[in-house]
A = this chain, B = another copy of it.
Amino acid sequence: MSNTPVNTVKDSKTEQLIKDTAKRIFLTEGKMLATTQDIADAAGVNRTLLHYYFRSRDVLFNLVFKEALTKFRERIHEVLGAELPFKQKIENLVSVFYEELIALPYLETFIALHLNQHPEKYEEFFIVLPGGKERMKKFLREVQSEMEKGTITEMKPINFFINLFALMAYPFVARPIYLKLFELTDSAYNKLLAERKKNILAMLFDKEAHF
């Protein structure tokens, strides 16, 4: 209430630096077992600062996870909720999804493993987005309507949804396997991923020009 000290400027550089570094190590590099020392070293700060700002490794881990997931979901929902023709919407979705997963390729893998281990944390991680449920229902109705128009193959709308995300996400999850299996370089695999964008649309929609 009275005059607050000047150094109360929140979100100090250090705090943000630690959080960004943790995010990179956990979700970009996929090192979910990284220790507090690993993170501190990578950020170039003393290990105790991590506890000073976040109290425990667990709190930091969950925070980073939750923030990334929430941002990701918000972008997806935004795209799916846009007032655009169905096919255009899916094209945008693929682009946005790619953009996010190139930055955070292990996000999906982590969710899958972590939620299996701690199902009670679902509500903590998947915070309710305003209008989220309605937006999903609306999207599934759109899928249904497209099938009636004959632009996509008849199936349960949920299966269309799963197919869509399977085709997008799996190549990121399984990247290390395919790199070796087909003896590809990183950049060759990235090129393959880029080409897949068109391919995914060709798979989802009936009878279209493809590549």
Q: Which residues of A contact B (CB under 8 A)?
A: 30-33, 106, 108-109, 111-113, 115-117, 119, 122, 126, 136, 153-156, 158-159, 162-163, 165-167, 169-171, 173-178, 180-182, 192, 195-196, 199, 202-203, 210-211
Contact = CB atoms under 8 A, between A and B. Distances in A.
Interface of A is mostly: helix
B153 A117 contact: no
Contact of A112 (B158, B165, B173): B173
Contacts of A116: 30, 106, 175-176
A162 B126 contact: no
Given A173-B173, A210-B153, A162 B196 contact: yes
A123 to B, nearest CB: 9
B180 A126 contact: yes
Contacts of A115: 176-177, 180
A156 B109 contact: no
Contact of A192 (B111, B158, B169, B195): B158
Contacts of A166: 166-167, 169-171, 174
Nearest to A184: B158
A199 B159 contact: yes
A192 B163 CA distance: 12
A158 B176 contact: no
Nearest to A173: B112
A167 B167 contact: yes
For the complex of A and B, 5 pairs with smallest distance between CB atoms: A166-B170, A115-B176, A166-B166, A170-B170, A30-B116
B202 A122 contact: no
A174 B112 contact: yes
A112 B156 contact: no
A134 to B, nearest CB: 14
A180 to B, nearest CB: 5
Contacts of A181: 136
A31 B21 CA distance: 26
